[in-house]
Amino acid sequence: MTRVSITFLLLASCGGETVGDGDATSDGSGASTPTTGPAAETSSGADTGDGPSGACPLEGMFVDCTIGGAEGVAYCDIIDGALQWGPCLPARACELGEMPGACQRCTLEDGVPTVTGSATCECEGEADLPICEQTACVQRWEYGCDACVSFTAGDCFSYGLGCSNPACDSDLGTPCARVWAQGDGTLTTLEDDAAAVCLLTSLRDGIPGSYDILWGVMFDDGWISQRVHALGDGTVMVEWRFECPACENFGRLGRSGALELRPAAWFDDCLDAPTTESLIACTIGLIEYDNGQPPEGYAPPFTTGECASLDVACP
């Protein structure tokens, strides 16, 4: 009697979970008993014979076959765009559903179980990818790269999204220290009130520079780091990043177009008898926050939230 079994596959990314072989069961397809045939060489290095002829009902299904009088197995796979039986295999390089290594998986290639991926977690990245397109005034990207440790080219961002990181990482220099609003879930204090006063004064007076604004607690679960590039023309380009020491192979970042600054009178009001609370409101614009990312559509309070242009070159 021909044994028929079905393997349900979740073709997970590196480090993802898989579901292994199910119990042997009849598929009710009426598949014919495999016959032997001329041998051929496969990627596994083993001689193979012909599998059953014709279409098969389910990817991952396998049936017993014989090759040279010995027992073998043939798999149902998508071959040449259609479900059909692969060759009769006397041996398998791996078992479907198994993870031979942290960044490897066992998948079917033309009906042959094949180990794919890197045993050292070096992932196949692409070089010279285009920069991710800016399509909104304030845009964010979330990316991941499975269990990759290194890349043949590119980095985690480009591997996960298929385009290059749009962050400028420019530094125009600044007369001000960083503004760091602190508090776990609720912003209540500033590292230095004078740094916030310096930032607001410089933006009001149109002084070009790159200004750093942070909020949150510097724990392993992360905080927001924001860089404001004042372009000296009444606009700023803002970039933010989720800084997370405990987050492996995962990240979030955002970038704006040329955000328009508020009029000088708005800054004057912020600088008139400032308190820690009012300075947080004028530089961050948040009291309570969710860790990991700004609210959807967030723009700094010292901007109008509208962009003069989306096409902003890195300063």
Q: Is the residue at 129 inside a domain?
A: no
For residue 262, is it within any domain? Answer: yes
Q: Are residues 144 and 109 in the same domain?
A: no
pLDDT value of position 47: 59
Per-residue pLDDT, 246: 67
Residues 271 and 231 grouped into a single domain = yes
Q: Is the pLDDT of residue 245 over 50?
A: yes
- Mean pLDDT for the stretch of residues 55-81: 90
| pLDDT greater than 60 at residue 61 | yes
Q: Is residue 157 part of a domain?
A: yes
Same domain, 291 and 164: yes
Per-residue buried b or exposed e for 92-131, using 16+ beta carbons within 10 Å of the residue's own CB? bbbebbebeebbbbbbbeebbbbbebbeebebebeeebee
Report residue 305: phi and psi, to 5°: 85, 0
Say whether both 142 and 115 belong to one domain.
no
Rounded mean pLDDT, 29-57: 52
Are residues 224 and 101 part of one domain? no
pLDDT digits (tens, 9 = 90+) for 248-289: 788 888 999 999 999 999 999 999 999 999 999 999 998 887
Q: Verify that 158 and 28 share a domain, yes or no.
A: no
Task: Reply yes or no on whether the pLDDT at 17 is more than 80.
Answer: no
Instruction: Give the tens place of pLDDT for each residue, 163-180.
Output: 998 888 777 888 899 999
Q: How many domains does the chain have?
A: 2
Q: Does the residue 145 lie in any domain?
A: yes
* H or E element in which residue 283 lies: helix 276-283
**Residue 315 resides in a domain:** no
Provide the strand spans (E) within 216-302: 223-230, 235-243, 250-256, 258-261
Q: Is 147 in the same domain as 287?
A: yes
- The pLDDT of residue 145 is 83
3-state secondary structure of 180: strand
- More confident call, 24 vs 311: 311
Question: What pLDDT shows up at residue 221?
Answer: 63
**Residue 146 and residue 65 share a domain:** no
Least confident of 148-152, 188-192, 276-280, 293-297: 293-297
> What residue numbers bound the domain in which 238 lies?
138-309
Torsion angle of C-alpha atoms 109, 112, 113, 117, degrees rounded to 10: -40
Same domain, 166 and 299: yes
Residue 67 has pLDDT above 70, yes or no: yes
Residue 176 lies in a domain: yes
Higher-pLDDT residue of 312, 2: 312
Examine the fold and report which residue of 87, 119, 151 is the final residue of a domain before the chain moves on.
119
Residue 35: pLDDT above 50?
Answer: no
User: What is the pLDDT confidence band of residue 217, given thresholds at 50, 70 and 90?
Assistant: confident
Question: Model confidence at 48, in pLDDT bands (50, 70, 90)?
Answer: low
Pseudo-torsion of CA 307, 226, 253, 17, nearest 10°? -150
49 contacts 37 by C-beta, under 8 angstroms: yes
Euclidean distance between CA atoms 56 and 33, whole angstroms: 12
Residue 265 φ then ψ, to 5°: -60, -35
Same domain, 232 and 162: yes
Q: Which of 227, 169, 233 is nearest to 199 (CA)?
A: 227
What pairs with residue 71 in β-bridges? Answer: 66
Is the pLDDT assigned to residue 19 strictly greater than 60?
no
Residue 56 included in any domain = yes
If pLDDT is split at 50, 70 and 90, which confidence band does 220 have? Answer: low
Q: Which of 41, 33, 48 is nearest to 90 (CA)?
A: 48
Specify whether 175 is located in the same domain as 291.
yes
- pTM here is 0.63
pLDDT of res. 30? 36
Q: Which residue has the higher pLDDT, 222 or 93?
A: 93
Specify if 103 maps to a domain: yes
Q: Are 207 and 230 in contact (CB under 8 A)?
A: yes
289 and 152 housed in the same domain:
yes
pLDDT in tens, 91-144: 888 888 787 777 788 889 999 999 887 788 888 888 899 999 999 999 999 888
